[in-house]
Amino acid sequence: MTQDVEMKEQPAPSNSVPSSSPSTLHHLKEIASLIETGAYDREARRILRAIRLTMALRRKLKASVLSSFLSFALTPGSEAFTRLSSYLPKEDENEMEVDTATSAAQPPAKHSLPELEIYCYLLVLIFLIDQKKYDEAKACSSASISRLKNLNRRTLDVLAARLNLLALHRIATLRHDELGQETLLNLLLRNYLHYNLYDQAEKLRSKAPRFEAHSNQQFCRYLFYLGKIRTIQLEYTDAKECLLQAARKAPVAALGFRVQCNKWAIIVRLLLGEIPERTVFMQKGMEKALRPYFELTNAVRIGDLELFRSVAEKFSTTFSSDRTHNLIVRLRHNVIRTGLRNISISYSRIALADVAKKLRLDSVADAESIVAKAIRDGAIDATLDHSNGCMLSKETGDIYSTTEPQTAFNSRIAFCLNMHNEAVRALRFPPNSHKEKESAEKRRERQQQEQELAKHIAEEDDDEF
């Protein structure tokens, strides 16, 4: 019994809390002050920055810290404070005493702003989801949405975009909440694509209002979802552009997102008949994740159908989890065409039976139909001799005598111009910089310059006459 009493009196638990809780609580208070500044100045960018800072503290959130922060940000005894406190689990008395002592060092906010209240809802919701308390998280989300319906402030758009979903997309549209529409559209597209509802996703995307992107992260997600839709619709050129652009624009820290973009971009480029560069597979942190696609690309490049089948079977689990298995099935025809192109370059005359053997086809009739289709599509420059059962390849001409170099050069110029235009659109300027009033001295100088210019022009006109 004496040992049990001594264990209870040890201060170890209370010492472990001050080492972590005060720093996290201090950061949350700084974020709260940033939200207050953004609310008073009506700058949504400050609140967006507060959201990014909060995501960095996500793993450090504890119930005791959130309880202390709610006491700081909200009025004790208010409806929001009581409701949010009920969602948090009760901590030990020692921890609660330490947190209340640290929070008492700084006075609570004098006025509970709607932005701070919704931010508290968001904090508690994130904590409940991380703790896998989904019933409480659902109740908290419903309460936050009902509260948001009574508020219509532009500074709340950033916070509301993290809490809303399906039905609120219409409310965001009616309120001209472009950031909320942007976030909700991506969430809806992700939900449709998760259940393979590509037609519904395209209908929603095509009918949704279009506007200039406000968040780079949301724009990257939109490009990724659009690239997946275009891939399924066989529009590989547009899909390639969207996926590569999403991979380039994605933040460096978003490694998983960039890996997914590169996986789909590799498949799309292979479907277009292109071979991705080796540097694509050697990007930092992506070597292991892209290894199956590297071996697949090697099989397509060689044109070996048997190697292609073995790679597809070897990594079938990976391709199924990435949801690219159906696209890889489409690559079989590209593998055969690549092998056929290599044969046409190597042989000026070859029997169709040998073509079927080299491509590992089932029969000579299959080889004949595949060669005929490749000649019709312009994949190879050859002719078929049906009487003798052979393929006659024409002499390879000079590629610089064709329009292919001009097409490649034009595509590169278009890419550079597009990047320049996007960079110009992404520039930020101080608010109301175009409305700054000029001083009296500057106004006099401007009027004097205009008078001198008008006088000079009049003198030049007189000289001409």
Q: What pLDDT is attached to residue 402?
A: 76
In a domain, 446, yes or no: no
Q: Does residue 54 sit in the same domain as residue 118? A: yes
In a domain, 10, yes or no: no
Query: CA 340 to CA 334: how far, in whole Å?
Result: 10
Question: Of 95-104, 130-139, 141-150, 185-194, where does mean pLDDT reach its minimum?
Answer: 95-104
The residues facing 390 across adjacent strands are 351, 385
Question: Of 274-278, 394-398, 459-463, where does mean pLDDT reach its minimum?
Answer: 459-463
Q: How far, in Å, are 112, 241, 270, 379 from residue 273 at the CA level?
A: 60, 15, 5, 10
Residue entry with tokens 């479907």 = 271
Q: Does residue 41 sit in the same domain as residue 134? A: yes
Q: What pLDDT is attached to residue 413?
A: 92
pLDDT class of 117 with cuts at 50, 70, 90: confident
| CA neighbor of 226 nearest in space, from 259, 268, 256 | 268
CA 339 to chain centre: 36
Mean pLDDT of 103-114: 53
Predicted TM-score of the model (pTM): 0.56
Q: What pLDDT is attached to residue 263?
A: 92
Residue entry with tokens 């590297």 = 294
Domain total in the chain: 4
Which among 346, 374, 407 is the end of a domain?
346
The number of beta carbons lying within 10 Å of the beta carbon of residue 96 is: 16
Query: CA 315 to CA 460: how far, in whole Å?
Result: 80
Q: First-to-last CA distance in the chain?
A: 117
Contact 126, 63 (CB under 8 A): no
Which structural domain, as residue segments, surrounds residue 239? Answer: 169-251
Q: Does residue 294 sit in the same domain as residue 377? A: no
For residue 239, pLDDT over 70 is answered with yes
Q: Does residue 330 sit in the same domain as residue 223? A: no
Question: Of 57-66, 187-196, 429-438, 450-459, where does mean pLDDT reach its minimum?
Answer: 429-438
In a domain, 442, yes or no: no
Q: Does residue 340 sit in the same domain as residue 388? A: no
Question: Of 165-169, 242-246, 342-346, where does mean pLDDT reach its minimum?
Answer: 165-169
Query: CA 107 to CA 75: how far, in whole Å?
Result: 11
H helix runs in 131-277, sequence order: 134-148, 157-160, 168-174, 178-194, 198-207, 216-232, 236-249, 255-271
Both tokens of residue 358? 């080299």
pLDDT class of 234 with cuts at 50, 70, 90: confident
Contact 224, 242 (CB under 8 A): yes
Whichever domain contains 375, its CATH number is 1.10.10.10
Question: Of 262-276, 295-309, 341-355, 411-425, where does mean pLDDT reach its minimum?
Answer: 341-355
In a domain, 454, yes or no: no
In a domain, 452, yes or no: no
In a domain, 351, yes or no: yes
For residue 401, pLDDT over 70 is answered with yes
Which among 128, 163, 198 is the end of a domain?
163
Contact 42, 155 (CB under 8 A): yes
Contact 340, 330 (CB under 8 A): no
Do the bridges between strand 349-351 and strand 382-385 make them parallel or antiparallel, or are there none, so unpaired? unpaired
Condensed to tens digits (0 to 9), the pLDDT of residues 48-80 reads: 777 778 777 878 888 888 888 888 888 887 888
Query: CA 133 to CA 119: how far, in whole Å?
Result: 19
Which among 126, 142, 163 is the end of a domain?
163
Q: Does residue 31 sit in the same domain as residue 152? A: yes
In a domain, 324, yes or no: yes
Q: How far, in Å, are 4, 48, 195, 286, 420 from residue 427 at the CA level?
A: 65, 17, 37, 31, 11
Query: CA 331 to CA 270: how far, in whole Å?
Result: 7
Question: Of 221-225, 267-271, 331-335, 399-403, where does mean pLDDT reach its minimum?
Answer: 399-403
Query: CA 328 to CA 267: how far, in whole Å?
Result: 7
In a domain, 425, yes or no: no
Q: Does residue 354 sit in the same domain as residue 293? A: no
Query: CA 112 to CA 70: how far, in whole Å?
Result: 11
Query: CA 308 to CA 408: how far, in whole Å?
Result: 29
For residue 338, pLDDT over 70 is answered with yes
Q: Does residue 215 sit in the same domain as residue 331? A: no
For residue 323, pLDDT over 60 is answered with yes
Average pLDDT, the chain: 75
Q: Does residue 353 sit in the same domain as residue 341? A: no
Reported for 360-368, long-range contacts at CB under 8 A and 24+ positions apart, including other chains, are 360/305, 360/306, 361/305, 361/336, 364/389
Q: Does residue 49 sit in the same domain as residue 129? A: yes
Query: CA 124 to CA 140: how far, in whole Å?
Result: 8
Q: What pLDDT is attached to residue 69?
A: 85
- Of 432 and 357, which is predicted with more confidence? 357
Q: What pLDDT is attached to residue 61?
A: 83
Query: CA 406 to CA 412: how far, in whole Å?
Result: 10
**DSSP codes, 341-401:** HHHHHH-SEEEHHHHHHHHT-S-HHHHHHHHHHHHHHTSS-EEEETTTTEEEEPPP--GGG
Q: Does residue 225 sit in the same domain as residue 290? A: no
∠ CA(409), CA(414), CA(418), 5° rounding? 150
Q: How far, in Å, are 6, 173, 205, 219, 244 from residue 223 at the CA level?
A: 61, 20, 11, 6, 9
Query: CA 162 to CA 215: how far, in whole Å?
Result: 13
Contact 130, 149 (CB under 8 A): no
Q: What pLDDT is attached to residue 165?
A: 58
Q: Does residue 35 sit in the same domain as residue 141? A: yes
